[in-house]
Amino acid sequence: MKGGHVHRFGSGLVLASASPRRSDILDTLGIRHQIQPARIDESPLPQEPPATYAERLSRGKASAVAGLRPGEWILAGDTVVALGRRILGKPRDADEAVRMLLDLAGRTHRVLSALALVEPGGRVRSGVQVTRVTFRAFDEAFARAYAATGEPMDKAGAYGIQGKGAALVEEIAGDYSGVVGLPVPLLLRLLAEAGRPYRFPS
């Protein structure tokens, strides 16, 4: 890709994530990137608030990959679904997915999407963007039918708003891209703070 902001990152960003959804958002923005997933312990600490947990993991992932690729721009993210202070991770099986979905049915929960950006000099900038999502009321048969599609199995909170999970949602208040997994407003803020403001590719 020529022109625009892309050349300002040299070879581009290194995305410390295997999420195809995050990669797709960067592609949509025209930000060239390579993918190198981070491997860290993602266990929450005792009594750790959801926002703190999400930001800690994003910084940990970014730092882990930065250690392997010094001198490059590294971007990492983590998305947490929280019902009150309860963190809903990826379901272990279809039954757990159904339980999560029924807990969320007819209620409003928070999606906390964190990003961490490591500059070539090693400075880490991070933040968390919060979106509130309200689910429609639905019954167990509906939840089981959705779980049977397989879509919930690799997603926090057992749903993907950008896929069939859109049928679960009544309303969102906040940033849609954050629910998908890479909050664009937060990304643009971090890039601007790092002296690399986003510009549309020409």
What pLDDT, on a 0 to 100 scale, did the predictor assign at position 164?
Answer: 97
**Cα–Cα distance for residue pair 49/56, rounded to 1 Å:** 11
**Angle at 25 (CA atoms; ends 14, 34), nearest 5 degrees:** 20
Asked if residue 201 is part of any domain, the answer here is no
Within-domain flag for 202: no
Task: Choose the catalytic residue: 27, 78, 93, 154.
Answer: 78
Could you report the average pLDDT of every consecutive run of 10 residues in the chain (202 residues)? 46 90 95 95 95 98 96 96 95 97 98 98 97 98 98 95 97 97 97 95 82
Region of residue 170 (phi > 0: left; psi between -120 and 50: alpha; otherwise: beta): alpha
Indicate if 78 belongs to the active site. Answer: yes
Say which amino acid occupies 25: I
Structural domains of the chain, count: 1
Residue 1 is assigned to a structural domain of this protein: no
Task: State residue 2's pLDDT score.
Answer: 35
Residues of the domain holding 120 = 6-193
- Degrees to nearest 5, angle at CA 138 with 133 and 143: 90
Q: What is the CATH number of the domain that holds 102?
A: 3.90.950.10
